[in-house]
Amino acid sequence: MTGWIIAGSILLFLILLLWLPVCVRIGFDGEFTLSVSYLFLKFGIFPKKERKKKTKKKEKKEKVQKQESKQKTKQTFSQKLEKLQSTLESVLELFGAVKGPLKFLLKSIRLYLLELKVIVATDDPCDTAEKYGKTCAAVYPLLSSLRQIKRPKKQVIVIKPDFCEDEGMVSARVKLGIIPWAVIAAVIGMGINYLAIIFKKQFSSGNKKTPAKKRRK
């Protein structure tokens, strides 16, 4: 009996973990920053820490590989066209597979924070006023279309001109919440849809080949 209680409590704990959101923080203040946090864990994805300098042997290998790639023969136009066609077909297949699950995933995403601060400033006051108008004309329609897709719980938008400073400033922060079970369900749905598209393609190509064989007989 105690074993069933322990197993049930572990299962409930795992289900609870799947319902707790993974927070994604995106920031911009001169450079982009991206971090992911879950419960008490936090991972900085971008910018990456500087790696140690490569050894001379690795650098020599990379130079040789680059020289070999340059020495390879160039593709003909027909080869490029065939490659482009196959790439476009695979992209369309992939889009057909991810379209439905992606909509489901977007609905499950929570937008906790949307913050944008833009200070427009230049040497010329007339230029500052013109750039301020262009910035407002570009940013506000984009924000309104974003609100139609997902409304943020907290929003801070500041766009203003500064005629005393010579340089402007742009900073932004976005905080998203993604439910793990929704991501898993979306990935499974994408995989099923993609497999269905592949099987359908193979079945249709098999049906096209059979009449030709019958004619030969």
Following CA atoms 33, 37, 42, 44 in sequence, which dihedral angle do they give, to the nearest 10 degrees?
-20
Kindly state the average pLDDT of the residues 182-209: 78
Could you tell me which residue, 34 or 73, shows the higher pLDDT? 34
pLDDT, residue 54, reads 47
pLDDT band at 123 (very low <50, low <70, confident <90, very high): confident
Distance of alpha carbon 124 from alpha carbon 140, whole angstroms: 24
Q: Among 7, 8, 47, 11, which Cα is nearest to 31's?
A: 47
pLDDT, residue 84, reads 61
CB neighbour burial string for 43-66, b if at least 16 within 10 angstroms, e if fewer: eeeeeeeeeeeeeeeeeeeeeeee
Q: Among 47, 45, 40, 49, which Cα is nearest to 22's?
A: 40
Give tens-digit pLDDT for 152-191. 889 999 999 988 888 888 889 999 998 888 888 888 888 8
CB-based contact 17:2 (threshold 8 Å): no
39 DSSP assignment: T
Give tens-digit pLDDT for 40-84. 888 888 777 655 554 555 566 666 666 665 555 555 545 655 666
2-19 and 180-216 are packed helices; what angle lies between their axes, rounded to 10 degrees?
80
pLDDT, residue 209, reads 59
